[in-house]
Amino acid sequence: MAKPAATAANIAAPDKSKIKLFDGKGIVTKINLEIGSVELDHDEIKGLMPNMIMEFSVSDKKMLDNLKIGDAVDFVLEDDAGAERIVKIKKR
């Protein structure tokens, strides 16, 4: 399906149906409190990507407060038409 043109109307009310959530597991390898990102050595995320080490943005920097390098975590990744960010993360 063709992507609709970006108009004020669809920017104000994004199409929620494009947002998908994925559960993941991984190990924290880096934390960036300034920009609000966490690098994870993550397991396969079924339907999205194989296991790899990569950096993710988080929806709220406060989620990183209780994490440290080496922590095993469960997380929820939001994929909004290819734009990914972690919306939940907690120590396992």
Nearest to 29 by CA among 43, 46, 42: 42
Q: Which residue has the tokens 């690098």?
A: 39
Q: Between 49 and 87, whose beta carbon lies closer to Cu ion?
A: 49
Of the candidate residues 25, 31, 39, 49, the single one contacting Cu ion (CB under 5 A): 49
State the DSSP H helix or E strand holding residue 9, giving kind and residue range, or none if neither: helix 8-12
Of the candidate residues 21, 52, 69, 81, the single one contacting Cu ion (CB under 5 A): 52
Kindly state whether residue 48 participates in binding Cu ion, applying the rule CB under 5 A.
no
Kindly state whether residue 27 participates in binding Cu ion, applying the rule CB under 5 A.
no
DSSP letter, residue 18: G
- What is the binding site for Cu ion (CB under 5 A)? 49, 52, 54
